[in-house]
A = this chain, B = another copy of it.
Amino acid sequence: MTYCVGLMLNRGLVFMSDTRTNSGIDNISTFRKMFVWEQKGERNITLMTAGNLATTQSVVSLLDERSKEPAQRNPGILEAKSMFQVATLVGNTLKEVIATHAETGQRADAAFNATMILGGQVAGGAPRLFMIYPEGNFIEASFDTPYFQIGETKYGRPILVRAYDPEMSYEDAIKLLLLSFDSTIKANLSVSLPLDVHVYEADSLEPGQQFRIQPDDPYFERISSGWGIALREAFGQLPDFTFPEGAE
């Protein structure tokens, strides 16, 4: 399993992904699921992946190769003229890879599937955030739905729904994402630290801030334990329930 979130803030984009992959619970590995392509002054693109690891690695390799040999297939991820074109390229590559695996005569079904979050900015356009489906089509984040989750999305969703604010600072956004990841990690063994983070400042077209939060990160530990206490305090502040009159 996997958990990745892409947040669109007014000031920029914040991405966070876990790194655990598993094929059965006795076969657990750490793989990066966040990939960044940057060209200073020109573009900054982040891709996060959930699903079949062979599929997602193949997609990223193809995107990388295409970006390195522009003559081979145009436009590559570094040549596409807009984020919409980048999303189309990634969607088509994903669809092709899944189809190639399926054509071997193996049962395709969901087994080779993958879902991706793509975000970033190409010079001349605004920052944009997309969710790309195995079929190669995609949807874009909007004012009403300003973030996307992929993988094990449910445990970490309630806190996002409640505390997300498009005006929030990068620091608050990362704190919020860490809480969302903490809820998920506590509930699903197949999501785990280290966590990769990328923060891209809107309209900067500069390389963003990238770093990794390690399993023993003291801030994460403070957030994780502090949140339990804070939640119980918040719980205590809510008005008390009283039994309805006439309850049997």
Contact with B along A180-211 (1 / 0, CB 8 A): 00010011000000000000000000011111
Interface residues of A in 202-248 (CB under 8 A from B): 207-211, 219, 222-223, 226-228, 230-235, 237-244, 246-248
A38 to nearest B CB, angstroms? 9
Point out the residues of chain B lying under 8 angstroms from A247, CB to CB: 209-211
Given A162-B228, A171-B241, A235 and B157 contact (CB-CB distance below 8 Å)? no
Indicate if the CB atoms of A227 and B219 lie closer than 8 Å.
Answer: no
User: How many chain A residues have a CB neighbour from B under 8 Å?
Assistant: 48
Point out the residues of chain B lying under 8 angstroms from A141, CB to CB: none
A176 interfacial by beta-carbon distance below 8 Å: yes
Indicate if the CB atoms of B248 and A209 lie closer than 8 Å.
Answer: yes
A227–B230 Cα distance when bound, in Å, is 12
- What is the total number of copies of this protein in its complex? 2
Closest to A176 in B: B235
Closest to A239 in B: B222
Point out the residues of chain B lying under 8 angstroms from A211, CB to CB: 243-244, 246-248
Indicate if the CB atoms of A230 and B219 lie closer than 8 Å.
Answer: no
Indicate if the CB atoms of A233 and B235 lie closer than 8 Å.
Answer: no
Contact with B along A153-182 (1 / 0, CB 8 A): 011111101110000001110111011000
A152 to nearest B CB, angstroms? 8
Indicate if the CB atoms of B210 and A175 lie closer than 8 Å.
Answer: no
Indicate if the CB atoms of B226 and A239 lie closer than 8 Å.
Answer: yes
What are 30 A-B contacts defined by CB distance under 8 Å?
A154-B154, A155-B155, A155-B157, A155-B158, A156-B158, A161-B187, A162-B227, A162-B231, A162-B232, A171-B240, A171-B241, A171-B242, A174-B241, A175-B235, A175-B241, A179-B238, A207-B248, A209-B247, A211-B243, A219-B239, A219-B241, A222-B239, A226-B238, A227-B234, A227-B238, A230-B235, A230-B237, A230-B238, A231-B234, A234-B234
Nearest 10 interchain pairs by C-beta: A154-B154, A230-B234, A158-B183, A211-B247, A234-B234, A171-B241, A209-B247, A174-B241, A162-B231, A175-B241
